[in-house]
Structure 1
């Protein structure tokens, strides 16, 4: 998976926006205003920070060397997934993005979900 594929997949999610709130080199994807994916724009190796259920995060880190505790994030709730030079399939990376997105959507109030048509 390349940066444009990652970007396109994240933006295909309902109520998703992208922005550069941390500066010109860090792209952030938000669902209904809450972050679910963060990636660098100036790095050689593509990696993405994704929100994750704490127990699942531990399992992923034990099973995949490409999955590490979230860099510059809450290590309990975020993973950094190294995409390039790794053995993770595009489908698996999409599953991890879906998991992150779903956690955000589930955390929204009914009113907020309705506001965004979710």
Structure 2
């Protein structure tokens, strides 16, 4: 999956916007103002090494499922700089199919949508 594919896929979902905090180094994908995905779009320091852009995506995940995924896939690790219980870092090393990454994005989006206030859900459903 490329950065453009990631962004296009996320933006195809209802109520999604992209934001660029941290001087444009990262892109946050938000549904109704709540982040469900994040990645870096510029090089950054990762454990004292320079990591390339789009090195990984942080995605929200059900805690039990997160543990299972981490056990099965070396490319899925506890979320970098986020809650290790609720977020995974999905590394773009080529070992995961685009379909699997899209499914993980869907799962993250769905979790965030389920936690939205009723008012926001009603607005989302009209989009």
- Counterpart residue number, 1:72: 81
Please give the alpha-carbon distance, in whole angstroms, between the structure 2 residues aligned to 1:22 and 1:30: 15
| Mapping for residues 47-58 of structure 1, pairs under 5 Å | 47-58=56-67
**Structure 2 unaligned regions, length at least 5:** 44-51
- Counterpart residue number, 1:34: 34
Please give the alpha-carbon distance, in whole angstroms, between the structure 2 residues aligned to 1:76 and 1:17: 25
Pair 1:11 & 2:11 matched? yes
Taking structure 2 as the reference length, what is the TM-score of the superposition? 0.87
Please give the alpha-carbon distance, in whole angstroms, between the structure 1 residues aligned to 2:40 and 2:14: 22
Paired residues, what number? 117
Give how far 1:112 is off. Answer: 1.4
Taking structure 1 as the reference length, what is the TM-score of the superposition? 0.94
